[in-house]
Structure 1
Amino acid sequence: MAYSIGSGADWELDFSASELTGALGDSVTVLPLLVALAATTSVSLPHVLVGFGVFQIVWGVYYGMPLSVEPMKALIGLAIVGSLSYPELAAAGLLAGVVLLVVGRLGLVGHLQRVVGEPVIRGIQFAVALLLLESAVGLSLESLPVAAAGLAVVGVLAVVGYRQSSVLVVLALGAVAAVATAGVPTPRFPELALFPAGEPAFTTAALEGTVAQLGMTIGNAAIATALLCGDLYDRDVRADDLSQSMGVTCLAAVPIGGVPMCHGSGGLAGKYAFGARTGGANVLLGIGYLALALVAAGAVLAAFPLALLGVLLVVVALELGRAAFAPVEDGRALALVVGVGIVGLAVNVGIAFVLGTVVFWLLAREE
């Protein structure tokens, strides 16, 4: 049975079965990244899940459509591989939030996209994918038989047509193994967690990560998502509006234990592919995240098989890498994407971003 609120073409909440399945389209990469982040840093998974639950609901109701709410993948990826501490991640999230709110308010999103250049943004995506893949290999070495079994599950599901759902299956298998080891967690409300203190936060690494992330966010989470809103849902949503909502999300969530969050064209397309057509999918998914927050106990998380975590990161890395190269056709653009990615892996993402932008400007002047 379907339950609907609103009847206009521009705003509606529906709670049908298709909205429920569509909600899963946005969690395919979200949950593996959050579990990996909580397993490799001092972040509190229950607080992170609360943040995602709240803002799935907020933006689903506000826009009346299944707008995605995802982790800022560059920053989260850098934290997972150890390039950013949790305080640095939080600081970068606040910096990104301020910038996104200001540039969106001033209508500067499109101008920034043209300055940076899409090949540089794609190169940053590729760099993060390589870093995640490197970390995945290290985690998989914890138990090669378990990693091989996880990859086999992913491969079989991909062959039979369930490639996107394979990471959720592996995640569920890991959760079952963790519960079998640590026991069934007792549901409890997470206590208030304020901005992490005790370690340096606003460092050079945090600033470099912020700059690199903003390139991806402006290109994918603002401009590409705004275009997709029109293509898939026939909705006129401005990129500057999306920038402001992402800024509000970061500034509200990070100080109380959340992580930097953004919108994203991939999550929006995933929800659409799985059947979501209204903001009801966000409400259902938000409720699901809030429910998970009640049972995301630390002991269970600590018992999650690291080798399976490596498998999850492999899949996420491959998806991110595929997205980086999918729209690239020009030979020089392809070379720039690869170059930025390699520099990001070998040196750091911040330097790769700056060098890539300089090269992009030089190439543009020759045309």
Structure 2
Amino acid sequence: MAYSIRSRLGSDLEFSTSELTGALGDSVTVLPLLVALAATTSVSLPHVLVGFGVFQIVWGMYYGMPLSVEPMKALIGLAIVGSLSYPELAAAGLLAGGILLSVGKLGLVGRLQTIVGEPVIRGVQFAVALLLLEAAVGLSAGNLSIAAAGLAVVGLLAVVGYRGASVLLVLGLGGVVAVATAGVPTPRLPEPALFPAGAPTLSGAALEGTVAQLGMTVGNAAIATAVLCGDLYDRDVSADTLSTSMGVTCLAAIPIGGVPMCHGSGGLAGKYAFGARTGGANVFLGVGYLALALVATGALLAAFPLSLLGVLLVVVALELARAAVSPIDGHRALAVVVGVGVVGLAINVGVAFVLGTGAFWLASRLE
């Protein structure tokens, strides 16, 4: 049985089994990063989950489609490896949020989209797919036997036409293992506070991280995601609109203990791959994050077998790679897509976006 309501932009929000399974296609790109962040910084995991839960619901109901809400991966990655403290991460997120809100309102991202060639945008998508695949291999390598079992489950259910159900089954099994290992936590409401994990601290490292993140965000979370909205959902969503909503998200979530968040083509492709077609998937996932915030402890999430999440990331990566490559026509354009993807994997998505834009602009002038 499916129920539906109307979104802010006039699209239906459906609440069905496929929306539920599709919602989890975004979480497999989020949870591993949050677990690692909670283990290496002073971040308050329950407050972070509240931020994700609220904005999954907000943007799902506003856009009426399963738009992703993900961590800003460059900044989160720098924090995980110790290059940024949480206060520096918060400052970088607020700065990035202010810039994204400003350029979105001024229409500057849309102007950039008219300059950047489609193969470059597709290349950014392909780079994210490669990065997700790399992360999947790393997670799966932690326990090859568990990963093999998860892959067998996903493959078997995909063959018989129930790929979305594999998400519920695999994550459910992982949850059972986590509870059996860490015990059943006592539900507890996160205490409301302003910057509960530390006041923002602007530093040289925070500024450098912001620049690196904005290169990724403009290419992947704004422009590439806008294109993917049309590809997968036949929706005309501008890159400027996405930039504005990302700015609002960061500026509103970080003061209450959240982390820098963005939209992204990876999470959007993940939701699509597992069956999501409307913003109802966001409502399901948002409620799930809010419920998890009541019981989230570092011990519980650390006990979840991340090898199973690695298996699901493979599915997400393949869906995104297919969406990036399939519309491309011509060997030269395909070479740009692959080149940007490889540079993004080897160096940085932001660097790949800038180099790809320059190379494409130069090639168009020489024709």
TM-score by length of 1: 0.80
Q: 1:49 to 1:152 in 2, by over 3 A?
A: same
Deviates more, 1:116-125 or 1:143-152: 116-125
The residue aligned with 1:334 is: 334
Matches for 1:226-305 after TM superposition, within 5 Å? 231=234, 239-263=239-263, 267=268, 270=271, 274=275, 282-305=282-305
Q: CA deviation at 1:240?
A: 3.4
Alpha-carbon separation, structure 2, partners of 1:82 and 1:318 = 27
Q: 1:67-90 CA deviation, whole Å, 9 max, x = no partner?
A: 524215754885699597574765
Match of 1:29 among 10, 25, 34: 25
- RMSD over aligned CA atoms reads 3.7
Name the count of aligned residue pairs. 357
The residue aligned with 2:104 is: 104
Q: 1:250 to 1:301 in 2, by over 3 A?
A: same
Contact map agreement 2:246 2:261 (CA 8 A) in 1: yes
Matches for 1:1-367 after TM superposition, within 5 Å? 11=10, 18-21=14-17, 23-24=19-20, 26-42=22-38, 43-62=43-62, 65-66=64-65, 68-71=67-70, 75=74, 78=77, 87=86, 90=90, 93-191=93-191, 192=193, 193-194=196-197, 201-222=205-226, 224-225=228-229, 231=234, 239-263=239-263, 267=268, 270=271, 274=275, 282-367=282-367
| Structure 1 segments unaligned to the other structure (5+ residues) | none
- Percent of residue pairs identical: 59
For 1:210, the aligned partner's letter is: L
Contact map agreement 1:81 1:135 (CA 8 A) in 2: no
For 1:147, the aligned partner's letter is: A
Alpha-carbon separation, structure 2, partners of 1:85 and 1:360 = 34
Q: Secondary structure at the match of 1:41?
A: helix
Alpha-carbon separation, structure 2, partners of 1:77 and 1:321 = 23
Deviates more, 1:108-117 or 1:260-269: 260-269
Contact map agreement 1:113 1:218 (CA 8 A) in 2: no
Alpha-carbon separation, structure 1, partners of 2:164 and 2:176 = 20
Alpha-carbon separation, structure 2, partners of 1:340 and 1:313 = 21
Deviates more, 1:120-129 or 1:265-274: 265-274
Contact map agreement 1:56 1:286 (CA 8 A) in 2: yes
Alpha-carbon separation, structure 2, partners of 1:259 and 1:216 = 18
Contact map agreement 1:225 1:264 (CA 8 A) in 2: no
Q: 1:238 to 1:308 in 2, by over 3 A?
A: closer
Contact map agreement 2:182 2:299 (CA 8 A) in 1: yes
For 1:209, the aligned partner's letter is: Q
Alpha-carbon separation, structure 2, partners of 1:101 and 1:217 = 13
Q: CA deviation at 1:146?
A: 1.3
Alpha-carbon separation, structure 2, partners of 1:23 and 1:238 = 24
Contact map agreement 2:269 2:320 (CA 8 A) in 1: no
For 2:29, the aligned partner's letter is: L
Q: 1:346 to 1:260 in 2, by over 3 A?
A: same
Contact map agreement 1:96 1:247 (CA 8 A) in 2: yes
Q: CA deviation at 1:25?
A: 5.5
For 1:108, the aligned partner's letter is: L
Contact map agreement 1:194 1:256 (CA 8 A) in 2: no
For 1:347, the aligned partner's letter is: I
| Structure 2 segments unaligned to the other structure (5+ residues) | none
Contact map agreement 1:13 1:61 (CA 8 A) in 2: no
Q: 1:195-237 CA deviation, whole Å, 9 max, x = no partner?
A: 67689651434422321221112223345537877x46xxx76
Contact map agreement 1:66 1:276 (CA 8 A) in 2: yes
Contact map agreement 2:123 2:338 (CA 8 A) in 1: yes
Contact map agreement 1:124 1:353 (CA 8 A) in 2: yes
Contact map agreement 1:171 1:312 (CA 8 A) in 2: no
TM-score by length of 2: 0.80
Contact map agreement 1:21 1:275 (CA 8 A) in 2: no
